[in-house]
Amino acid sequence: MQKTKQNSTLRIFFFLLIFFESQLFAQRLSHTSNDQILEDISVSCNEKGVHFQNSYYRVFDLTNSFKIETDWLLESVEFAVLKAQSGKQTGQQAKLILYVMSSYQSPRLLQDSLIQLTDTIDVTIEDSDSGTLKKVSMPSPLKISQGKVLVVELLIPDGQAEGNILFLGGNTFPEKDVAYIKAEECSLPEPAPLSVIGFADVHLILNVYGSPL
């Protein structure tokens, strides 16, 4: 009986060791060269600060931009929050939506070639997240097949009824690729590169973490 208990303890220890190792040594993919959140560097379709529905996108070409030549496990997504102020002080609901594409050339229209990978992942953005990097773990690691392009959408629902204010964080430091925004209330029915619509100096911070298979 003692031997069985020891074996069970060893298995638990081994599992925890693998878990913490994956958290400590997860591969970080980012297009921004610096994660510093600068004041007044953001973009949003809003009226007097209260936002309409906005979707923000970052594209991760695993092979061509990050030299990943294997399948890749997505473990978490991280984004910067410049200012969050919920009208009812109960936080704001957002959604992460993950897609893949077969190929990518920046900048380009995204909508016609996106293939959704999973159900949406619900995220609550608290007022206390203002000025921080918010990390959202996947319910379970998501495999991105070798050669595919990962697209992350952060969808912020319309906040007019509740008086919600939300500005994602960014900076003006060099970036490898552009971010995209979709906002129908501001005549952007499809994802558009920020650099094309007059916000070339707004480099939104949205990173992903994972590990090669």
Q: How sure is the predictor about 106, in pLDDT bands with cuts at 50, 70 and 90?
A: confident
- pLDDT above 70 for 4: no
Mean pLDDT of 113-130: 91
Mean pLDDT of 152-168: 98
Yes or no: say if 52 and 158 are a contact pair by the CB < 8 Å rule: yes
Yes or no: say if 105 and 59 are a contact pair by the CB < 8 Å rule: no
How does pLDDT run across 180-206, given as a tens digit for each residue?
999 999 999 999 999 999 999 999 999
- pLDDT above 90 for 2: no
User: What is the domain partition of the chain in residue ranges?
Assistant: 27-212
How does pLDDT run across 58-97, given as a tens digit for each residue?
999 999 999 999 999 999 999 999 999 999 999 999 999 9
Q: How sure is the predictor about 22, in pLDDT bands with cuts at 50, 70 and 90?
A: very low
Task: Give CATH superfamily name and number for 27-212.
Answer: GOLD domain (2.60.120.680)
Whole-structure pTM value: 0.87
